[in-house]
Amino acid sequence: MTDLQKERWLQLLADQTVFGLNEKELMEAEKLKKQFPDWEQDITLELAAAAVGLSQLEVKEELPANLRTKIFATADNYFETLEASPKVLNFPPKVSKNIGSLATERFNNIVETAPKSSPWQWLGWAFAAAACVALAFTLLTTRPDRTPETVKTPETIQTPPPELSIEQKREQLLTSAIDAVRIPLTNPKNQKEVVGDLVWSNAEQKGYARFSNLPVNDAAKETYQLWIVDETQDAKTPISGGVFNINQIGEVIVPVNAQLPVKKPKAIAVTVEKPGGVVVSKQEKVVALAKI
């Protein structure tokens, strides 16, 4: 049995502990195993690997006091058994000591009085140390990151609501404004002839005028202009509510936006003015009128 075979056997033991063996190496290990029966039950390498593995564990809690006491008491009983066996080691006479200190002292005595190991046993420990270094490197390089991952909540992109049509805005004002009124727009020359209706909210300071078949105007020559008659102002200077043009026959809705604050609306009129509108209307051509 050559020294090379022993070295190869120890190398296979170390590789098996740290990395594992392939099929060919397992067959070789089985053959060498029969030549080294004394090493068959040896667990030196396994203990070394376990020690490295345990060193990676995070222990945040201390050992409970009752369990610690029980462990030391068990250790005392174990060493007392060794003391009773003359084949193991010779210990000094037992003296009364605290639990734990007796076990510690006897362990030190074992180390000091243990027989010297053979060169091949030390070689085994050397391989165990090498295995520990290899295992430690493997654990450190493959150990998963324990930093908790921050789960990011997907950003919710709020889609802006679709723009309401002018018909929807008119209906919304009519149903939401507590002071909203709806009154007919008539022909000033024949008040029985209804040409549309008006929705107005003084609290919101806005409204919508709806016309039916208002004549199409030539924007290059004339425009329609809305006026709000306020009781607190001179009737000759009503508040402008904006200008608009009609480019199709049929139903048309236009917004009424007061250019000045309206306190007590009395009526709304629609006149025909020059392009762009005027500041003060002569009210020569009134085409629609609504009394609030």
Give the rounded percent of residues in the chain with a pLDDT score beyond 70: 58
16 and 130 belong to one structural domain = yes
Residue 75 has pLDDT above 60, yes or no: yes
Q: Note the pLDDT tens digit of each residue in 127-153.
A: 556 555 555 555 555 555 556 566 667
Whether residue 262 lies inside any domain: the answer is yes
- 23-35 vs 3-18: helix axis angle to the nearest 10? 130
Tell me the one-letter amino acid at 215: P
Residue 108 has pLDDT above 60, yes or no: no
Q: Which of 26-30, 90-94, 272-276 has the lowest mean pLDDT?
A: 90-94
Q: Who has greater pLDDT, 264 or 65?
A: 264
Q: What is the extent of the structural domain holding 86? A: 3-142
Whether residue 222 lies inside any domain: the answer is yes
Q: Note the pLDDT tens digit of each residue in 183-219.
A: 999 999 888 888 999 999 999 999 999 998 899 999 9
132 and 172 belong to one structural domain = no
273 and 182 belong to one structural domain = yes
172 and 104 belong to one structural domain = no
130 and 13 belong to one structural domain = yes
187 and 97 belong to one structural domain = no
Residues in contact with 184: Cβ distance below 8 Å, sequence separation at least 6, in sequence order: 194, 196, 197, 198, 290
Q: How many domains does the chain have?
A: 2
Residue 106 has pLDDT above 60, yes or no: no
129 and 189 belong to one structural domain = no
Whether residue 254 lies inside any domain: the answer is yes
- 242, β-bridge pairs: 226
- Average pLDDT on 69-86 reads 64
For residues 235 and 183, the answer to whether their CB atoms sit within 8 Å is no
| pLDDT score, position 114 | 43
Q: Could you tell me the CATH number of the domain that includes residue 283?
A: 2.60.40
Domain-terminating residue out of 142, 176, 194: 142
Angle, CA 196 vertex, CA 255 and CA 269 arms, to 5°: 65
